[in-house]
């Protein structure tokens, strides 16, 4: 593609443009946190390559006068086969980042999944969502009482779906991030100077209260440790490295709503998730931020759909940048494509308006793609074998299925 310049949200045509803008708008350390992948970025790049390697065979001459992108998650309607994935530190990209993401999600009729590490409280987010799908993501902590307390607050706030993230017990080796800090929470001099070059961001994010705090964790911390540093330290102390299926059983006891396990990739783990009471799974390699050299959710998808689609809802994240990526995932049997960086680029590029721009882009692209594929609704898309498995690893997955 020819090079082009994007300086304003109005000029952005696609997620990549939002990424360009985001890089401009926020300090390097904050952009890097969103962008970084583990070690050599092998997983990060592989996620995209798998999408690129899939080819679609369109159908023609079907009535496309109405294209319906609505679907259901757990028999509840959503307007698009999307959701906004749980990500931490969102308030570093834009003031009250989680609230902005939540409002955009509400506007587009898709679930907002709030992270344990949200910079807003569950209750504040719930207030913005006004009854729209609010899912809560829980990092399982050593102290069961804390987990229970967070689940209680989530249930009270109206969350019907709980997401347990399994692949972050041991934090990924993100060298890009490590180079930004001289020690935890302390930026290198170069990065500090870079912050100074972003006064608008500083005014939006830092003024007058300083670095955002973790909205859900304050009640567990003494007031003088509410800072990001304090919260991060608390979580790293509390993160349960012994996390196993027994802890899932406890969660299952403690949580009566829908339970979704996020971070699974192996078919045997899906089988275990079902056995331990999960209602859905999010296939994920954490956007390439954890295990470098991991398979991609997309290449695992066909074999997993083949075996488990009738028993649970199968979502996936990691690498969605185009509506056609979403179409490919659904054509291979996924129920929903969950968004991480795509909407965060929008948030960093333009706050709530940026998030809405991101969702509008993906929504438009998906609708166009469905129309060009000859699929007037999501059910058609999910029922259609229209993918040529040119990617060798996907072929492998299909053969195993």
**Is there a contact between 108 and 356 (Cβ–Cβ < 8 Å)?**
yes
Helix (H/G/I), strand (E/B), else coil: 104: helix
**Is there a contact between 364 and 108 (Cβ–Cβ < 8 Å)?**
no
Write down the least CB distance from residue 37 to a second copy, Å.
Answer: 9
Of 46, 96, 198, 286, which is the active-site residue? Answer: 286
Cis, bond preceding 302 (omega within 30 deg of 0):
no
CA 375/CA 387 separation, integer angstroms: 14
Residue 371 among known ligand-binding residues: no
Nearer to a second copy (CB atom), residue 132 or residue 296: 296
Nearer to a second copy (CB atom), residue 284 or residue 352: 284
Residue 379 among known ligand-binding residues: no
Nearest to 112 by CA among 86, 75, 79, 130: 86
Residue 318 among known ligand-binding residues: yes
Residue 86 among known ligand-binding residues: yes
Nearer to a second copy (CB atom), residue 130 or residue 364: 364
User: Burial, 259: exposed, middle or buried (Cβ in 10 Å; 0-12, 13-18, 19+)?
Assistant: buried
Write down the least CB distance from residue 29 to a second copy, Å.
Answer: 12
Residue 345 among known ligand-binding residues: no
Nearest to 181 by CA among 42, 23, 344, 36: 36
264: which 2 tokens?
């699974």
Active site residue 276: no
Residue 346 among known ligand-binding residues: no
The region that residue 158 occupies, defined by phi over 0 for left and psi between -120 and 50 for alpha, beta otherwise, is left
Question: How many Cα atoms within 13 Å fall on the side-chain side of residue 33?
Answer: 17
360: which 2 tokens?
């509008």
Residue 289 among known ligand-binding residues: yes
Write down the least CB distance from residue 51 to a second copy, Å.
Answer: 8
Nearer to a second copy (CB atom), residue 14 or residue 137: 14
Nearer to a second copy (CB atom), residue 219 or residue 244: 244
Nearest to 356 by CA among 11, 105, 26: 105
Write down the least CB distance from residue 245 to a second copy, Å.
Answer: 5
Q: How many CB atoms lie within 10 A of CB 65?
A: 6
Write down the least CB distance from residue 120 to a second copy, Å.
Answer: 28
β-pair type (181-183, 186-187): antiparallel
Annotated binding site for FMN: 86-88, 115, 137, 165, 262, 284, 317-321, 340-341
Annotated binding site: 33, 86-88, 115, 137, 139, 165, 174, 262, 284, 286, 289, 317-321, 340-341
Give the residue numbers marked as catalytic. Answer: 286
Annotated binding site for glyoxylate: 33, 139, 174, 286, 289
């Amino acid at each position: 593609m020819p090079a082009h310049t994007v300086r304003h949200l109005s000029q952005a045509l696609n997620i990549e443009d939002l990424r360009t803008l985001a890089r401009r708008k926020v300090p390097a350390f904050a952009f890097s946190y969103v962008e970084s992948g583990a070690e050599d970025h092998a997983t990060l790049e592989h996620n995209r390559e798998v999408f690129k390697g899939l080819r679609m065979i369109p159908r023609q001459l079907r009535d496309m006068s109405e294209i319906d992108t609505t679907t259901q998650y757990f028999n509840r309607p959503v307007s698009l086969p999307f959701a906004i994935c749980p990500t931490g530190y969102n308030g570093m990209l834009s003031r009250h980042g989680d609230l902005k993401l939540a409002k955009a999600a509400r506007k587009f009729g898709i679930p907002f999944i709030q992270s344990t590490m949200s910079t807003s409280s569950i209750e504040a987010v719930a207030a913005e969502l006004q009854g729209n799908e609010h899912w809560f993501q829980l990092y399982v902590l050593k102290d069961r009482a804390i987990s229970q307390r967070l689940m209680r607050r989530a249930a009270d706030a109206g969350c019907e779906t709980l997401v347990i993230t399994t692949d972050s017990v041991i934090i990924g080796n993100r060298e890009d991030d490590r180079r930004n800090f001289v020690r935890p929470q302390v930026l290198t001099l170069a990065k500090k100077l870079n912050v100074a070059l972003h006064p608008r961001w500083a005014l939006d994010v830092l003024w007058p209260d300083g670095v955002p705090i973790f909205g859900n964790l304050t009640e567990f911390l003494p007031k003088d440790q509410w800072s990001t540093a304090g919260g991060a330290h608390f979580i790293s102390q509390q993160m349960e490295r012994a996390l196993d299926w027994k802890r899932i059983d406890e969660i299952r006891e403690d949580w009566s709503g829908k339970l979704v396990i996020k971070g699974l990739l192996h078919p045997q783990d899906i089988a275990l998730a079902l056995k331990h009471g999960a209602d859905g799974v999010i296939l994920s390699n954490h956007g390439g931020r954890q295990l470098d050299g991991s398979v991609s959710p997309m290449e695992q998808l066909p074999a997993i759909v083949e075996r488990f689609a009738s028993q649970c809802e199968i979502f996936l994240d990691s690498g969605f940048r185009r509506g056609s990526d979403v179409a490919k995932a659904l054509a291979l049997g996924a129920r929903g494509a969950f968004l991480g960086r795509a909407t965060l680029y929008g948030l960093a590029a333009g706050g709530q308006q940026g998030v809405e721009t991101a969702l509008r882009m993906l929504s438009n692209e998906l609708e166009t793609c469905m129309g060009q594929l000859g699929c007037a609704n999501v059910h058609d898309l999910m029922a259609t074998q229209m993918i040529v498995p040119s990617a060798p690893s996907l072929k492998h997955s299909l053969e195993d299925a």
